[in-house]
Structure 1
Amino acid sequence: MVTTRNKIGIWMDHSIAHLMEYSNHPFEIKTIESDFTHKEKINSLMKGEAHLHNKEQQLQTKYYKKLMNVVKKYKEVILFGPTDAKEELFNVIVSDNRFEKINIQVKQTDKMTSKEKHDFVKEFFANK
């Protein structure tokens, strides 16, 4: 059996991303978390709404850059999850020509258990 190292599924919202590399072996879920935590939100809000917005934008950009560093290592990517974070990341990626050879798709899903995420990625790439 050959292990496929060129496909990854990323379930994400604005606070955390679960990365699942598609392979013939049981795959592990790695996580990347945004630094924009509830505590950070409260601290920023106390300094004013403009400060909150700037801090959120700054930390979201950092979070998306971490995810883009993962995405660039793959040929096929499925971004999925319950919020619009996946579309925001997708829009940042497609504006960067370093990603033009990567097949990236976006799918809306609900909140999912680890098994449901695993099954979703498996089924998505098995049908390709």
Structure 2
Amino acid sequence: MKNNHASQVGLWMDHSKAQVVEFKNGEAVLVENIDSPVETIKRIEGEVKDTTRFTSSNEHSSNNEHKKHNIAQKELNEYFRILENKLASYDDILIFGPGVVKEQFRNRLRENKSFSDKWLSVQTSDKLTVNQLLAFVRDFYKESNP
């Protein structure tokens, strides 16, 4: 019985979304678009400017700084958990995209024991159209598997 599941995958990601592209039988196929739960602008109802009132200390420049940081970290961890679940069945994982979130995700995967025997690669790319995305993954895996 032939295995129809691809073992190679490309994941284009930034803070707002991710796109999963499987590479199987020499072809790249867009499998899924995943929206990120990370909100870039936090707006709390009734919020005023981020300064403390009765201190001249620069150490505490914001009443909301710690709260906003914790919320952002929880959202990023949720995003990474969603992506980990999507990639768990693949052996070769290519992570690419703009910014630093791809390195943060790779570091998290390296700490995860279930990904310890998987091959990970990180590449930098700009935002891509769907055709460019498919070509990027196809070219990467064709060059690595001549």
Give TM-score, length-normalised by structure 1.
0.87
* Contact map agreement 1:72 1:102 (CA 8 A) in 2: no
**SS of equivalent to 1:54:** helix
Q: Does 1:117 align with 2:133?
A: yes
**SS of equivalent to 2:24:** coil
The residue that corresponds to 2:51 in the other structure is none
Q: Distance in 2 between matches of 1:111 and 1:55?
A: 26
Q: Distance in 1 between matches of 2:92 and 2:8?
A: 5
* Contact map agreement 2:28 2:137 (CA 8 A) in 1: no
Aligned residues: 125
| Structure with the higher fraction of residues in helix conformation | 1
**Bigger Cα Rg:** 2
Q: Does 1:54 align with 2:55?
A: no
Q: Does 1:5 align with 2:21?
A: no
Q: Distance in 1 between matches of 2:28 and 2:80?
A: 26
- Stretches of structure 1 that go unaligned for 5 or more consecutive residues are none
How far residue 38 of structure 1 moved from its aligned partner, in angstroms, is 4.6
The counterpart of 2:112, out of the listed 74, 96, 108, is 96
User: Which has the higher mean CA deviation after the structures are superposed, 2-11 or 105-114?
Assistant: 2-11
How far residue 29 of structure 1 moved from its aligned partner, in angstroms, is 4.0
Deviations 1:40-97, CA, capped at 9 Å, x for gaps: x2239x4822211111000100000111112211010100001111100000110112
Identity of aligned residues (%): 27
Q: Distance in 1 between matches of 2:129 and 2:18?
A: 13
- Counterpart residue identity of residue 31, structure 1: N
Q: Distance in 2 between matches of 1:58 and 1:26?
A: 32
How far residue 26 of structure 1 moved from its aligned partner, in angstroms, is 5.8
- Stretches of structure 2 that go unaligned for 5 or more consecutive residues are 48-62
How far residue 37 of structure 1 moved from its aligned partner, in angstroms, is 2.7
How far residue 23 of structure 1 moved from its aligned partner, in angstroms, is 2.1
